[in-house]
A and B are shown apart, each in its own frame.
Chain A
Amino acid sequence: MNNPVTSIKLVLLGEAAVGKSSIVLRFVSNDFAENKEPTIGAAFLTQRVNIDDHTVKFEIWDTAGQERFASLAPMYYRNAQAALVVYDVTKPQSFIKARHWVKELHEQASKDIVIALIGNKVDILDDDPNERKVAKEEAEKLAQEENLLFFETSAKTALNINEVFLKIGENIPLKNANDGNGDGINVTDNQRVNLAASADATANASACSC
């Protein structure tokens, strides 16, 4: 582990039960659970990936999806360098919600946040293509308009899950990830504005148990 390590703070947003936690579970543990307890508040997990000669450490903030938890979200996406906005390809409402999240992120989050739009649960379409309720074209259009990365994934079959994270890793300037993450952010949590602390994260990152 002599590679330089870069931390990327990544937040998952999206309607309840679209599979945010499952995407994380698949990415972090390559596992899947059919009935996962809903995330209460938020969960935090980490995962390391090698991209070229770099090691990227993803610090993943997985948030609760229910509408009323939205007021907690700013606490978690502050300083985030990347966001996965997840919807369920079989639930049109979840796509509307995804639009809202994209809008909110553009307004409130760091200016250069990399956002990926994720249509999850495509495995359901394998059994019955009629289940699709959000057209791929529609999502692609949104991604283009709003300058988002776009993937259709399945946490269940692991389709495209790693690709999402790798793509995000490629899209974030690695060298700047650490010293630049204090700039251009909207600190929504008025409690703490301590931005210096993250600077030494790289040095001690290997101590983390992940």
Chain B
Amino acid sequence: MNQPLIDLRNITKSFDKTVVLDDLNLSVAENTFVTLLGPSGCGKTTTLRIIGGFETADQGQVIFDGEDISKLPPNKRQLNTVFQKYALFTHMNIAENIAFGLKIKGKSRTYIQDKIRYALKLVNLDGYENRSVSSLSGGQQQRIAIARAIVNEPRVLLLDEPLGALDLKLRQDMQYELIRLKNELGITFIYVTHDQEEALTMSDTIVVMNQGYIQQMGTPEQIYNEPENAFVADFIGESNIVPGIMIRDELVEIFGARFACVDKGFGTNRPVDVVIRPEDIDLVEPSAGTLTGVCTHLIFKGVHYEMEVTTPDGFEWLVHSTDLCPVGKEVGIHVDPFDIQIMNKPASEDEEAVGVNE
């Protein structure tokens, strides 16, 4: 990989003695869509604000295109931010909002006019120049906020939960808009969200964070299919996380039953955590299953049924399937080898938090 555009090195930040980020390292390559994903309080917004220059890290460096910008104020950085609550200037009309940054840079009147028209077209709001901010809906306001940021031609666009205040349908539309924008503009997006679906839909790279540490970094597929620890598995989508013992390479024992899997290199007879996604569990005849259990719960969810199958050891398996299994029926559980994900058991809370992708 060539030189990263943004490089966070050993960033540490505390507020009032609460450590929010602890020795965080993160590289962002040019022209990628990177999402910082995690529950509230995990440090994702703080990370973004440190990149934007609104917070300064207690320790560590922010490297932008090979230069240390840790001490630069936000107005001297070549990046722009789209804020969670739009932060439009309500006493200015749309055109004035968009022109704000360009006027400061002393661009010519015609240049600014062209840019405004171009940006409004880009966010599908042509002709809105003279409208007031308050006459726009939430989704439109967010588009204007994006237009206002991108006319400055930043190398990086920082987005802080920009869709958080929109309703579901609008949020989905905007997700596609953002993907399109990123492809058309060819700039780097750093996106903060707590919504895993948003992250999976849009990102090239997802950075899962918790308690100030990066839990895992990878493509959406990697994050979803190969979570590295229980936190990631649990946070991204629904999952069954069960204790198991790695008998040897490609064989794991769960509740006394042996499942074939594809993971290697965990040693022999080692306790591990096993992640199995609810949609990867196949319910079969009891005789054909690796484990057997009784269906104890059934809910119709539209696309699929959600069921709970309780095995004799008392574990309730969450199962998503389009095939119905009535409550009380005995079923067998079968899982294909490549649907089983093995994770190291964390030795302690700290180790659980630190686990970083190589």
A and B are interacting partners: no
